[in-house]
Chain A
Amino acid sequence: MPLDVPVVLQPFGSSSCVPTCVYAVLRAFEADETAENGDTEREDDEDDEAEQARRDEVSELCEETELGCDLDTVITGLKQGGYDADWFPSRGKSLPDALKLLRDSVMDPDDPQPVIVSLQTDIRSADDHAVVVRRFLGNRNNTTGLEPMVELMDPDHSRGGIRKLSLQEFGRQWNFAGQRAFTVRPG
């Protein structure tokens, strides 16, 4: 069962979507742990201030500047902050191999790991946008005729929320962004 990554939108004025994705993934792990411990619902009295403080902490670890976030610094910063962060080993692989790795990680029945990936909608655009891969839907070999889809948590304010892309379109957009991806979880 993949983790249920919540919808978290990036704050207005933020030039980077990466810290928001990191925060959303960490929240998913916490919610999963809470459920495992038998708590039936999340303590909703975690007030806005506390949540904002945690988001600020993540943003600080990601060293967000006017240039946005660079993934080298993000991963190093998160590690230093006590989180388990690393590159996802998709770069340099053929797209089918990289997609298989991604599916195996996100859909792992014993230890699911949402993956933060960079997407680029058009090979000519050179605009980068980070999203969280929540789950894969449908099977490549199914006989239903339904196209396999990838479900994403997109932190962008205008198009954000949970959205789905066909596996083929997702693969293209991910490849255009260099098949860049990383993982994070509580340390």
Chain B
Amino acid sequence: MSKTLTLTAPSDGGTAPQDPMAVLREWVSDPEIQAAFSRMAVSLKEIVLGDSAVLLPQAQERIVLSQWMEQYRGKHFATDLERLFRRELPVLFGLVRPGLIKQIAFENVWPQVEPWLKAIFVRALAAAWAHDKIGDAVTVDQPAWDGAYWVVPIGLPRFDSPLGHVTLDEEGNVVPQESATKADFLRTIKHAA
């Protein structure tokens, strides 16, 4: 880290005191600090994958993925983020009050983890639906957000391209009328043969 952090008013009395938040914002935008946030995001993803608390959302009626992720973030991320922050940015960690550390970490690290985690959940939700409605031998590719819906390609191992797709809304609920049916898949296979 090349910058010098000053979070207190200068002692010469001749200049206006610096706004600590402004200094902090400038610090946070530093490429080295941003690189540290990226490393924290990578570590956090590894933690998530090994975390027994990561569970697929379940709901009697409608799944609300954003709420599920918010709860998970609140319950399980705070401690990990603080630990990673201390490891990657020890100087900043020592200078900033704990509440602010959490805020900085969430603002800078969580946006790098959230879309990744959401895509994992969406794919798993699409897979559960496809295995119920289409068949348990289908393959499920990575979801793509088309601006309004999640589109998850579904295929079979012997085909290079997907045979159809499952569509989910932003909160992870399958939209059946926008998704391929088993009959569609069987027709496509027959046609390909």
Q: Which residues of B contact A176 (CB under 8 A)?
A: 56, 124
Contact across chains for B132 and A126 when beta carbons are under 8 A apart? no
Contact across chains for B128 and A68 when beta carbons are under 8 A apart? no
Contact across chains for B59 and A65 when beta carbons are under 8 A apart? no
Q: Is A157 part of the contact surface with B, judged by Cβ < 8 Å?
A: no
Contact across chains for A126 and B124 when beta carbons are under 8 A apart? yes
User: Secondary structure of the A side of the interface?
Assistant: loop
Contact across chains for A128 and B55 when beta carbons are under 8 A apart? no
Contact across chains for A16 and B137 when beta carbons are under 8 A apart? yes
Q: Is A93 part of the contact surface with B, judged by Cβ < 8 Å?
A: yes
Kindly list the 10 A-B residue pairs having the minimum CB-CB distance in the complex, ordered from nearest. A67-B135, A178-B128, A68-B137, A68-B135, A126-B140, A68-B136, A126-B127, A92-B60, A15-B137, A128-B136
Q: A66-B189, A67-B138, A70-B133 are in contact. Are A93 and B58 (CB under 8 A)?
A: yes
A175 to B129, alpha carbons, bound, how many Å?
Answer: 13
Q: Which residue of A lies closest to B58 (CB)?
A: A92
A10 to B24, alpha carbons, bound, how many Å?
Answer: 61
Q: Is B144 part of the contact surface with A, judged by Cβ < 8 Å?
A: no
The residues in B between 121 and 155 inclusive whose CB is less than 8 angstroms from any CB of A are 121, 123-129, 131-140
Contact across chains for A175 and B58 when beta carbons are under 8 A apart? yes
Q: Is B175 part of the contact surface with A, judged by Cβ < 8 Å?
A: no
Q: Which single member of B125, B131, B140 contacts A71 (CB below 8 Å)?
A: B131
Task: Tell me the smallest distance from the CB of B127 to a CB of chain A, in Å.
Answer: 4
Contact across chains for A168 and B134 when beta carbons are under 8 A apart? no
Q: Which residues of A contact B120 (CB under 8 A)?
A: 123-124
Q: What are 24 inter-chain pairs, A to B, with CB distance below 8 A?
A: A65-B186, A68-B135, A70-B131, A70-B136, A71-B136, A72-B132, A93-B58, A94-B58, A95-B58, A118-B131, A118-B136, A122-B49, A123-B120, A123-B124, A124-B49, A124-B120, A124-B123, A126-B140, A172-B52, A176-B124, A177-B127, A178-B131, A179-B56, A180-B131
Q: Interface extent on A, as a size class?
A: 35 or more
Contact across chains for A67 and B54 when beta carbons are under 8 A apart? no
Q: Which residues of A contact B182 (CB under 8 A)?
A: 67, 70, 73
A179 to B156, alpha carbons, bound, how many Å?
Answer: 23
Q: Is A132 part of the contact surface with B, judged by Cβ < 8 Å?
A: no
Task: Tell me the smallest distance from the CB of B166 to a CB of chain A, in Å.
Answer: 11
Q: Is B185 part of the contact surface with A, judged by Cβ < 8 Å?
A: yes
A109 to B115, alpha carbons, bound, how many Å?
Answer: 46
Q: Which residues of A contact B54 (CB under 8 A)?
A: 123
Contact across chains for B132 and A180 when beta carbons are under 8 A apart? yes
With most chain A CB atoms within 10 A of its CB, the pick from B58, B120, B185 is: B58
Q: Which residue of A lies closest to B137 (CB)?
A: A68
Q: A67-B156, A70-B131, A124-B120 are in contact. Are A179 and B136 (CB under 8 A)?
A: no
Contact across chains for B136 and A18 when beta carbons are under 8 A apart? yes
Task: Tell me the smallest distance from the CB of A160 to a CB of chain B, in Å.
Answer: 16
Q: Which single member of A69, A129, A178 contacts B135 (CB below 8 Å)?
A: A69
Task: Tell me the smallest distance from the CB of B122 to a CB of chain A, in Å.
Answer: 11
